[in-house]
């Protein structure tokens, strides 16, 4: 019976090894191989094969988009490899646990497991599993992007490329650089996006990857569309659609790239082909990008003067926006990241404390050894003192000198401890100061970026100039651009204006007041008398804030931010 059981374990191990060999190239075959085991591994409970089976099964399920094991079941795997696994096995177990939480849409927990996975990696080892580590950083970057944390995303993308470099994978090195474009889109840094796009395009061409080079243009296309440079946008769109290899014969883009349909909708809207624009906005909604799709449809319906369609789509947009806000868990994410940084600093401090303790122990050992040797020496001197009186005197002087050195050593040790305490306190104070300075700098930068977006807005400046020259009238197109810009800048205020059913002039007066225009400027722009403008402000203030007063409208609007 003992020999038979050993044979069975060898057969199971052989199946698991075969599944592991198939995992990267043929995950479907690996999944079928694992599924062939009786009871799907339940008979392996408590053994190393059980943990290995669950690790492989979770990996195969993740690759094939199948349901992964529960966190409760997979915790058994993590616990086993924490006790018995090497660095690569622990990292993979932590990574897959993060994927389980990611599939459950628990971003903070997923991020915590991914961060712990990076801690398990032994990058100094020759057999470090850089492929899994690269995947970990890729998943972390995806979470940071979805939670609007661009700086953390960029750092993860850089680590992704660094892992790919260790694997000699040119494509993934460049791919990690390319994926940084998404983070810079969140930061609205158009200059870096255009420069980085050209750089990545050249890197792909140098590596002999023309299709990958043609696939980098969507962020740049979006920028040129926002600038209304439809000729340049169309030029890049043609290259992307015909040379990237991402589209089928019917013009459908491959899975995962469907957000490009927004650019198609914006382009056709910009050149006046509104039916084509609606088609791509509906296609965008069908692929789950509801917020961008409804925003585009609202603009198209407004241009077609379809009031009922605008109203119904606005309601859909509000629901999608609420879902979008609910999905974000930025505060929890930042808490996880801060706790990770804190724990890591604590580990470093603890390591330094251990090193200092070892140094003190070595010093104590040296002192004890010296004292012991001195004691032995004194005993020897006492035994021979009758015959070596002169020698004893000499040795006595030596003893006194040694005792003085011991006292000096103790004093030096005490001074060293005081110096270390002062140094540690000074270092902690500096760290706190640097954190405060960094926080203030980040808040200032965000404030400047918001201010610059308003100052750099061409349409607001154009209307501002017209407000001082009654002879220059604002065209309908300019009014529409101004309203679109205000909608983008203050979506909550814009939705409230529609909900409260403000008239067109009341909406104009409200938005112009929000941007700091005075009564005389608004009167010039709308061709009304100052008293009429005051009445419009009073009605708008009453509808929005239930305050029958014109003068407080500007201060009341301060609650709306970008």
The closest alpha carbon to 493, from 550, 553, 436, 538, belongs to 553
Judge whether 336 and 115 are in contact, CB under 8 Å. Answer: yes
| 513 inside domain | yes
Instruction: Give the 3-state secondary structure of residue 66.
Output: coil
pLDDT at res. 436: 62
| 348 inside domain | no
Task: Report residue 351 as tokens.
Answer: 């390591």
515: which residues sit within 8 A by CB, 6+ positions away? 454, 460, 486
Please indicate, yes or no, whether residues 480 and 543 belong to a single structural domain of this protein.
yes
Instruction: Give the 3-state secondary structure of residue 247.
Output: strand
Cα angle: 480, vertex 505, 522; to 5 degrees: 85
Burial of residue 81 (CB within 10 Å: 0-12, 13-18, 19+) is buried
pLDDT at res. 261: 93
Judge whether 169 and 207 are in contact, CB under 8 Å. Answer: no
Please indicate, yes or no, whether residues 551 and 462 belong to a single structural domain of this protein.
yes
For residue 424, give Cα distances in angstroms to 340, 384, 437: 21, 51, 20
Alpha-helix residue ranges (DSSP H) falling in 490-518? 491-499, 504-514
d(CA 273, CA 27): 45
The closest alpha carbon to 131, from 155, 95, 180, 102, belongs to 95
Q: Which domain holds residue 482?
A: 458-559
| 534 inside domain | yes
Burial of residue 288 (CB within 10 Å: 0-12, 13-18, 19+) is exposed
DSSP letter at 456 equals T
Task: Report residue 503 as tokens.
Answer: 């008239």
What phi-psi label fits residue 148: left (phi over 0), alpha (psi between -120 and 50 degrees) or beta? left
| 517 inside domain | yes
Question: Domain boundary at 345, 380, 408, which?
Answer: 408
d(CA 44, CA 48): 8
| 183 inside domain | no
| 300 inside domain | no
d(CA 413, CA 405): 12
Task: Report residue 212 as tokens.
Answer: 């990958």
Task: Give the sign of the dihedral formed by CA 17, CA 18, CA 22, CA 23.
Answer: negative
Number of domains in the chain: 2
pLDDT at res. 20: 86
- Residue by residue, DSSP assigns 145-175 as HHTT-HHHHHHHHHHHHHHHHHTT-HHHHHH
The closest alpha carbon to 275, from 301, 293, 248, belongs to 301
Judge whether 315 and 495 are in contact, CB under 8 Å. Answer: no
Question: Domain boundary at 350, 376, 408, which?
Answer: 408
Judge whether 20 and 57 are in contact, CB under 8 Å. Answer: no
d(CA 371, CA 378): 10
Judge whether 253 and 247 are in contact, CB under 8 Å. Answer: yes
β-bridge mates for residue 247, sequence order:
253
pLDDT at res. 438: 44
d(CA 375, CA 383): 13
Judge whether 522 and 467 are in contact, CB under 8 Å. Answer: yes
pLDDT at res. 3: 33
| 205 inside domain | no
Task: Report residue 507: phi and psi, to 5°.
Answer: -65, -45
Task: Report residue 298: phi and psi, to 5°.
Answer: -60, -45
pLDDT at res. 444: 38
pLDDT at res. 31: 87
| Kind and range of the H or E run holding 303 | helix 290-303
Per-residue pLDDT of the chain (562 residues; tens, 9 = 90+): 333 344 346 677 788 888 888 888 888 888 888 887 764 445 445 577 888 888 888 888 888 888 888 888 889 889 999 998 899 999 999 999 999 999 888 999 999 999 999 999 999 999 999 999 999 999 999 999 988 899 999 999 999 999 999 999 999 999 999 999 999 999 989 999 999 999 999 999 999 999 999 999 999 999 999 999 999 999 999 999 999 999 998 889 998 899 999 999 999 999 999 999 999 999 999 998 999 999 999 999 999 898 898 898 998 888 888 876 665 554 544 555 554 554 444 454 445 555 656 667 787 788 888 888 888 888 887 887 888 788 767 767 776 787 888 788 788 778 767 777 775 676 677 657 646 644 543 453 344 444 444 444 589 999 999 988 878 888 999 999 999 999 999 999 999 999 999 999 999 999 999 999 999 999 999 989 989 999 999 999 999 999 999 989 999 999 988 7
| 43 inside domain | no
Judge whether 141 and 162 are in contact, CB under 8 Å. Answer: no
């Amino acid at each position: 019976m003992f020999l038979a059981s050993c044979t069975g374990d060898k057969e199971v191990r052989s199946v698991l090894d075969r599944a592991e060999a198939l995992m990267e190239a043929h995950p479907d075959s690996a999944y079928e191989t694992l599924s062939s085991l009786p009871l799907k591994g339940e008979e392996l409970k408590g053994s190393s094969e059980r943990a290995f089976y669950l690790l492989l099964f979770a990996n195969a399920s993740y690759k094939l988009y199948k349901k992964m094991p529960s966190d409760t079941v997979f915790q058994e795997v993590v616990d086993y490899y924490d006790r018995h696994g090497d660095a690569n096995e622990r990292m993979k177990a932590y990574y897959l646990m993060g994927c389980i939480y990611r599939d459950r849409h628990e971003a903070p927990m997923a991020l915590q497991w991914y961060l712990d996975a990076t801690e398990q990696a032994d990058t100094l080892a020759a057999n470090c599993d850089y492929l899994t580590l690269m995947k970990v950083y890729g998943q972390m970057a995806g979470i940071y992007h979805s939670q609007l944390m661009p700086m953390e995303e960029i750092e993860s993308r850089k680590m992704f490329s660094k892992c790919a470099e260790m694997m000699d994978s040119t494509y993934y090195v460049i791919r990690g650089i390319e994926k940084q474009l998404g983070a810079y889109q969140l930061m609205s840094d158009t200059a870096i996006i255009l420069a980085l796009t050209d750089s990545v395009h050249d890197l792909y061409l140098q590596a002999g990857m023309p299709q990958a080079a043609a696939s980098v243009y969507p962020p740049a296309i979006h920028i040129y569309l926002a600038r209304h440079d439809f000729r340049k946008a169309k030029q890049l769109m043609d290259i992307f659609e015909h040379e990237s290899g991402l589209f089928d014969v019917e013009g459908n883009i491959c899975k995962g790239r469907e957000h490009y349909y927004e650019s198609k909708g914006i382009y056709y809207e910009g050149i006046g082909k509104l039916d084509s624009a609606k088609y791509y906005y509906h296609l965008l909604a069908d692929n789950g990008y509801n917020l961008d799709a409804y925003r585009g449809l609202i603009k198209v319906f407004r241009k077609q003067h379809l009031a009922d369609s605008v109203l119904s789509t606005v309601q859909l947009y509000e629901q999608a926006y609420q879902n979008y806000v609910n999905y974000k868990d930025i505060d929890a994410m930042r808490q996880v990241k801060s706790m990770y940084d804190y724990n890591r600093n604590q580990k470093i401090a603890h390591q330094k404390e251990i090193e200092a303790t070892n140094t003190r122990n070595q010093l104590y050992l040296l002192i004890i050894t010296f004292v012991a040797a001195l004691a032995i020496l004194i005993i020897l001197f006492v035994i021979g003192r009758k015959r070596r009186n002169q020698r004893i005197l000499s040795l006595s002087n030596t003893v006194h000198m040694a005792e003085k050195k011991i006292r000096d050593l103790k004093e030096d040790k005490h001074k060293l401890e005081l110096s270390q305490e002062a140094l540690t306190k000074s270092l902690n104070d500096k760290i706190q100061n640097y954190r405060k300075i960094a926080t203030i700098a980040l808040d200032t930068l965000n404030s400047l970026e918001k201010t610059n977006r308003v100052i750099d807005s061409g349409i607001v400046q154009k209307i501002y100039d017209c407000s001082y020259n009654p002879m220059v009238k604002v065209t309908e197109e300019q009014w529409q651009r101004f309203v679109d810009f205000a909608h983008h800048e203050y979506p909550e205020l814009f939705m409230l204006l529609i909900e409260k059913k403000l008239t067109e002039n009341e909406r104009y007066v409200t938005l112009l007041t929000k941007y700091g225009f005075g009564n005389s400027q608004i009167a010039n722009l709308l061709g009304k008398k100052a008293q009429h403008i005051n009445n419009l402000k009073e009605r708008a203030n009453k509808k929005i804030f239930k305050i029958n007063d014109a003068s407080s409208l500007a201060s009341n609007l301060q609650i709306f931010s970008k």
